[in-house]
Structure 1
Amino acid sequence: MDIDHDEGDESLEMTIILAAIAVVIAVERYKKLFLVKGPYYNLTLHGTAETQLIIGATEKACRDMLRLRKRAFFSLIRLMWERGLLCDSKTVQVEEQVVIFLHTIAHNVKNRVMALRYGHSGETISRYFNIVLHAILKLYPVLLKPPSTTTPQRISKDRRRFYPYFKDCIGAIDGLHIPAWVTVDKHRRFRDRKGDISQNILAACNFDMKFTYILSGWEGSASDARILDHAIHKEGAGKLVVPQGKFYLVDAGFANQSGFLRPYRNVRYHLKEWNNSNLRPADKKELFNLRHSSLRNVIERSFSHLKSRFKILKTQAEYPFDTQANIVIACAILHNHILTQNSVEEEEAFLAQEDATVGPSSSAQPNQRCEADVEDDSDIDDESMDNVDCNQFREQLADNMWDDYVARVDDLVDDSVDDDDDDDMFDNPVNDADMFVDPVSDEE
């Protein structure tokens, strides 16, 4: 009996020892695989060298690769560094972290390509992409500021076409569809009117082409009017606030309501229609729509710059949908940051030169959204008391605008009888893309 008992103890003891050895081996294997990481590629400081190659080379190389000039890039680094949003890690410095993010969104580069180019694992690239993304989102209150309540210079300086009629206008609002990557079971909700899978964003900008509000993450089937209604009635962060007595310009897909002034429906509106016709307004509604379109065009131009600068917004980026929505906001924040460092004219020249070199990626041009494309939301009710008051406000604006226009045309016709050069009867707005000839303003 004692012998059998001893043999049983020895067997149990051996089993425990073998089990302990197996656990130790498993732990060591786990550490090697997941805890103790060596370089994914045996390329010492390759990411640092690649970063310096971009930001330390020519101005053109930095702008082509990152969409920012060197000055704007280092200003962005300083902005995040001072606020403690980013810090150097053991292997990746802040400059490289930001370069990885900017390079990815500027050209929609895949994770594997970035991993090979910067000498890191795909997990490392993904981790720093998300770190920088969330750091940029925290700059929202710094770079996406509410619009000023003073009359914009774009309006106050043009006393013939825009002032005083639009003196309380603070910007323009519109929706923009961005390609979205979602699971098949969500395709129906995210399919827009053109049949594409997209998210619909709502954005506002001022007349300096800086975004003042942006709301992303809505499915492509949602109308602009529905998203706007949600934005102005939601509570807390993300609420769209319109200062008392001020208004935004919107297109015919929105209701004419307090804080939002839309054009007349079923009346010639878009600038391309005026460009092609070479006609003058026939009545107050056409004149109002022409000048409304000339001002509201700023949001179309802003959208065009945004998508031309960041190619990731033109394709279905394969990220979780929340990340896709955040990327749109981050691009708008970077757009504003760039315009704090460079002028609008400088940026337009850069993007135009790029299109001329590589060719435009789409035949669509700013402000080419035809009337058939404007969403007709059945929820829009122009008969409510608030909307009736706004319709009366629009009628008064249009009446005053038309009366002044007719009086000025009569004066110019009389003055031009003895003038051989009639070119001064009409202006040629540089920033409007407005080929229509609206009589020139008086000399200031």
Structure 2
Amino acid sequence: MDMRTFVILCHLLRNVAGLSSTEIVNVEEMVAMFLHVLAHDVTNRVIQREFVRSGETVSLHFNLVLLAVVRLYEELIKRPVLGFLTLYRGQRYHLQEWRGAGNAPINAKEYFNMKHSSARNVIERAFGVFKGHWAILHGKSYYLLQVQCRTILACCLLHNLINREMTYCDDVYDVDEGDSAYATTTASEDIHYIETKNEWSQWRDELAESMFTDWKLRNA
């Protein structure tokens, strides 16, 4: 996080989330301590030494900032518009199954599965980048479960803020691999299916047909 984004974060925490300085620690310092814990997964004792604060002070202000960051939910999370759309069973799914010029999708269901698989791979890579930003997500956590849940949400919100404000970052994912006949992604574990509502399935069928028709026109 660069200094400009840090200033924006502190501004949001003050004016949107209601975070304020205490008698002994101002907002900037408490936010800096909080970010240091998330980014490097250091212990309370390390923060005590580096910021010259007591353990009680560090713990108190970590939780104050954590609660304030979570209150930025409406500011930094985009709500999904559509419901979850499952893949088609009994059709090819993994990207490697379309590798090679002779293995292009032959119907709308296969094309939808190809795009679904591509999106899944993008999401998995996004999780890798996400964990790369926040070392606190790497291993076991010894925080209370409620704190762990809030910490994960806070990391998501901060990740979105960084991507929004630091537009020069290189966290670019290879989106749309499914359009390539030479996708190199390998198959992973079996998919656990989730049933959707009937109206979602109908919408998925209409979407798949539209996508497949458009793709055939573009590749005619």
Q: Which runs of 4+ in 1 moved over 6 A?
A: none
C-alpha distance after superposition, 1:299-324 (max 9, x if no partner):
33432332111111121121111101
Distance 1:369 1:336, change over 3 A: farther
- What is the alpha-carbon distance in structure 2 between the residues aligned to residue 89 and residue 316 of structure 1? 31
Is 1:348 equivalent to 2:171 in the alignment? yes
Instruction: Please tell me whether residue 394 in structure 1 is matched to residue 204 in structure 2.
Output: yes
Offset of 1:337 from its aligned partner?
A: 1.3
Instruction: Choose from 84, 88, 95 the match for 2:21.
Output: 88
Checking the alignment, whether the CA contact within 8 Å between 1:137 and 1:329 is kept in structure 2 is yes
Alignment of 1:308 with 2:125, yes or no, is no
Q: What is residue 262 of structure 1 aligned with on the other side? A: 86
Q: Which of 118, 122, 130 is the equivalent residue of 2:55?
A: 122
- Which residue of structure 1 aligns with residue 182 of structure 2? none
Mark the CA change 1:140 to 1:369 in structure 2 (over 3 Å): closer, same or farther. Answer: farther
Deviations 1:53-103 (A, max 9, x none): xxxxxxxxxxxxxxx111110111111223472333333222111111000
Secondary structure of the corresponding residue to residue 332 of structure 1: helix
Instruction: State the partner residue of 1:286.
Output: 110
SS class of match (2:171): helix
- CA offsets 1:108-152 (integer angstroms, 9 cap, x no match): 1111122122222222111111111111111112222435xxxxx
Between the two structures, name the one with larger relative contact order (CA 8 Å, sep ≥ 6): 2
Return the TM-score normalized by structure 1: 0.42
Establish whether residue 375 from structure 1 lines up as the match of residue 192 from structure 2: yes
Q: Deviations over 1:387-433 (max 9, x none)?
A: 2x443443343344444544554x4xxxxxxxxxxxxxxxxxxxxxx
With 85-94 and 308-317 compared, the bigger mean Cα shift is at: 85-94
Tell me the distance in 1 between the aligned counterparts of 2:46 and 2:105: 54
Q: 1:347 to 1:406 in 2, by over 3 A?
A: closer
Task: Give 2:68's aligned amino acid.
Answer: A
How much has 1:283 moved relative to structure 2?
Answer: 3.2
User: Are residue 320 (structure 1) and residue 138 (structure 2) matched?
Assistant: no
Distance in 1 between residues matched to 2:203 and 2:133, nearest whole Å: 38
- SS state at 2:18 partner: coil
Change over 3 Å in CA distance of 1:393–1:302 after alignment to 2: same
AA in 2 matched with 1:116? R
* Percent of pairs with identical residues: 38
> Residues 70 and 316 of structure 1: is their aligned pair in 2 closer, same or farther, counting only changes over 3 Å?
same
Aligned residue-pair number: 208
> Structure 2 CA distance, aligned partners of 1:307 and 1:269?
26
SS in 1 for 2:64: helix
Q: What letter matches 1:264 in structure 2?
A: Y
Distance (Å, rounded) in 1 between the aligned partners of 2:89 and 2:188:
12
Aligned-partner Cα distance in 1 for 2:214–2:20: 59
Aligned with 2:92: secondary structure?
coil
Higher strand share: 1
Q: 2:179 is matched with which residue?
A: none
Looking at structure 1, the residues matched to 145 and 98 of structure 2 have their Cα atoms a distance apart, in angstroms, of: 40
- The separation in 1 between residues aligned to 2:158 and 2:216, in whole angstroms, is 44
Amino acid at match of 1:346: C
Shift of 1:376: 4.5
Amino acid across the alignment from 1:318 = Y
Match of 2:177 in 1: none
Decide whether the 8 Å contact of 1:108 with 1:317 is kept in 2: no
> Which residue of the partner structure matches residue 176 of structure 2?
none
Give the residue type in structure 2 aligned to 1:375. Answer: H
Structure 1: runs of 5+ lacking an equivalent: 1-67, 148-169, 171-246, 248-258, 352-366, 412-444
Structure 1 CA distance for aligned equivalents of residues 79 and 104 of structure 2: 36
Find the aligned partners of 1:129 and 1:369 in 2 and give their Cα distance. 41
- Quick check: which one's helix share is greater? 2
What pairs with 1:106-185 in structure 2 (closer than 5 Å)? 106-147=39-80, 170=81
Alpha-carbon distance change, 130 to 396 in structure 1, aligned in 2, over 3 angstroms:
closer
